[in-house]
Structure 1
Amino acid sequence: MAIEIMVGLPHLREGPILRRAKGMQMPALISANALSRWTRRRGWPEWLGWNLQQLQHAPGLASLALDSAGFVALAHYGAYPWTVDDYMILAASYPFRWFASMDYCVEPEIARDRDEVLDRIARTIRVNLDCRTRARDLGIDRRLMPVIQGRRPEDYERCLEGLAHPLSPGTLIGIGSMCRRHVGGPDGLVAVFDHLDRVLPQGVLVHAFGVKGTALSYLKGLEHRIASIDSQAYGQAARRDAFRRGIAKTDALVADHMQRWTRSQLTRSSGPARDHQRQLTLPIADRPPDDRWEWAIARARAEIRGLVEEGALDHDAMTAGWIEQWAADIYHSAPQPASSV
């Protein structure tokens, strides 16, 4: 079975892009950010809620799924502008094929060191659990797709274990922080999906967010595990094309690029596999720092992550001030560590 290609849509307004998407009858994905209302009345962007009227235009698409816009929210706004309850209102407002849990991405430009990666994995676990609880309250939990995060292959396994999500055959799990990842290497796409294929129960499927179309041919042999991928890369191609030709980037131009991109992805999906040497992923030991203050910081982060995952602290409460204050208490009260945290 071929990996399904989902077309990321920039909006659901009536016009060339939506008409073309309906005509192609390809499954589509919309970002929560694309359905947001904003104002700059006070000189900076403020979130006002959802533009649910756009969803009136969705009927006629082959299917429509919802993404929480985690990367956009964290990269552009520093945090989610909406709460879990806000997001669940959107998820319940339309019969989406599935809607992704909120999550905290760990791309290098967002999470710049190992500690930040681990912090965001902890936050991802907690917000997934919060989304699941609220979705169950609204009776839409069967359409909720949990999302796991990681930098290393084993990070995704750790995140999955924290979710404690039932993994019966047919369960779909979203894999985040994929769109800027290399194909090869110990932390590359191939290594991550190989690892997940080994640890996930038979019949559990994954959706890979933002995987480059050029990577499809390297993922041959994993069609039993990778149900679908999505991308809106055609928008960047349209922008470059418009700049090169000195013309406006109109929705008609974007629609043309969307159709060409989709044909290209379908060709790759059905084409021959490209050989890529599978690399063993060797665990990198997280050795405790020798310096006492660094040890206290590491200990504080680990304890706070645990509280975030348990729900004792809000998943947005992990700030530098909290960590340093926590570490100071550990530093002054704990004996000198011998060899481990």
Structure 2
Amino acid sequence: MNGEVMGMPVGQVNAVLDDELVMRIGIPHRGGRLAFHAFEQGYPAMVSANAFWNSTKREFVMPAATDLTEMDFALDSAGFSAMTLWKRKGRQAGIAGVYPWTLEQYLEFANQCGARWHSAVDFCCEPQVAGNAEEVDYRVNATATLLESALRVTYEWQNKLARTMTAREVANMIKPVVPVLQGWDRDSYLRSLDLTMQVWERWQPWLALPL
């Protein structure tokens, strides 16, 4: 093992970021002209997880050939798409009865699809789905709860791998999520930040500060 430490990694970062602000192009598809144009222009991208979901098979599917595999893309949890589907069709089979996929399905795909980093599952707060302050407050709380769940699953998976792998191998195989702040005004976003940090700090020093 070349002197590498066996077991759980410590002080993990959830994303490797550039020194300057990066603007990502939103792509709601897993290929096609938009992805090709982003690839041709060298644009970093943010791709919706919904683009990869096969509702018939009830699983995420990565295409055998797509320009996304040749470019810098991050994975978005598709919270707004999930909320819109939930409002239109009612209870879903996955996360909190809102998402069509489970948390484990999302995290597994996120760590296998080649994304540079992946966002945490969240409950969005746009007026189309959160019509008043109480609903925004609920979604801010739910977003923090989902972050806690994602970190717990990630820790459990890493802990199993750590029995037979080095800390470096474990950290490279399964990465922690990038938190999402939710809200609709200054106060709700600040409360979301506070809740996010309360959750994250419970998992230090296993994790470094979030990016």
Return the TM-score normalized by structure 1.
Answer: 0.43
**Contact residue 92 and residue 138 of structure 1 kept, 8 A:** no
- Percent of aligned pairs with the same residue? 28
1:5 — aligned with what? 23
1:116 corresponds to which of 135, 144, 159? 135
Q: Is 1:77 aligned to 2:77, yes or no?
A: no
1:150 corresponds to which of 164, 178, 183? 183
Q: 1:143: how far off?
A: 4.6
Distance 1:123-1:170 versus aligned 2 partners, 3 A rule: closer
1:318 — aligned with what? none
Equivalence map 1:134-283=2 (5 Å)? 134-139=153-158, 142-163=175-196, 164=198, 165-166=200-201, 171-172=210-211
SS in 2 for 1:104: coil
Aligned residue type for 1:35: F
SS in 1 for 2:192: helix
2:50 — aligned with what? 33
Q: 1:55: how far off?
A: 7.1
Q: 1:150: how far off?
A: 1.1
**Contact residue 96 and residue 143 of structure 1 kept, 8 A:** no
Aligned residue type for 2:53: S
Structure number with greater CO (CA < 8 Å, separation at least 6) is 2
Q: 1:146: how far off?
A: 0.6
Q: 1:90: how far off?
A: 1.2
1:68 — aligned with what? 77
Aligned residue type for 1:10: P
Q: 1:121: how far off?
A: 1.1
In structure 2, distance between residues paired with 1:148 and 1:55: 33
SS in 2 for 1:89: helix
Q: Deviations over 1:154-203 (max 9, x none)?
A: 2122222223224999842xxxxxxxxxxxxxxxxxxxxxxxxxxxxxxx
Q: Which has the larger radius of gyration?
A: 1
Distance 1:71-1:86 versus aligned 2 partners, 3 A rule: same
2:164 — aligned with what? none
2:123 — aligned with what? 104
**Contact residue 52 and residue 93 of structure 1 kept, 8 A:** no
**Contact residue 49 and residue 75 of structure 2 kept, 8 A:** yes
In structure 1, distance between residues paired with 2:70 and 2:152: 31
Comparing both structures, which one devotes a greater share of its residues to strand? 1
Distance 1:114-1:93 versus aligned 2 partners, 3 A rule: same
Distance 1:112-1:28 versus aligned 2 partners, 3 A rule: same
Which runs of 5 or more structure 1 residues have no equivalent in the other structure? 40-46, 173-341
Q: 1:60: how far off?
A: 1.7
In structure 2, distance between residues paired with 1:20 and 1:97: 19
**Contact residue 79 and residue 123 of structure 2 kept, 8 A:** yes
Which runs of 5 or more structure 2 residues have no equivalent in the other structure? 1-18, 88-97, 159-170
> Number of matched residues?
163
Task: Name the Cα RMSD after superposition.
Answer: 2.6
1:132 — aligned with what? 151
Distance 1:21-1:38 versus aligned 2 partners, 3 A rule: same
**Contact residue 12 and residue 55 of structure 1 kept, 8 A:** no
Q: Is 1:52 aligned to 2:62, yes or no?
A: yes
Q: Deviations over 1:205-263 (max 9, x none)?
A: xxxxxxxxxxxxxxxxxxxxxxxxxxxxxxxxxxxxxxxxxxxxxxxxxxxxxxxxxxx
In structure 1, distance between residues paired with 2:24 and 2:131: 30
In structure 2, distance between residues paired with 1:53 and 1:138: 25
In structure 1, distance between residues paired with 2:102 and 2:65: 20
Q: 1:56: how far off?
A: 5.8
**Contact residue 111 and residue 175 of structure 2 kept, 8 A:** no
Distance 1:91-1:169 versus aligned 2 partners, 3 A rule: closer
**Contact residue 49 and residue 78 of structure 2 kept, 8 A:** yes
In structure 1, distance between residues paired with 2:109 and 2:208: 27
Distance 1:55-1:115 versus aligned 2 partners, 3 A rule: farther
**Contact residue 12 and residue 54 of structure 1 kept, 8 A:** no
Aligned residue type for 1:95: G
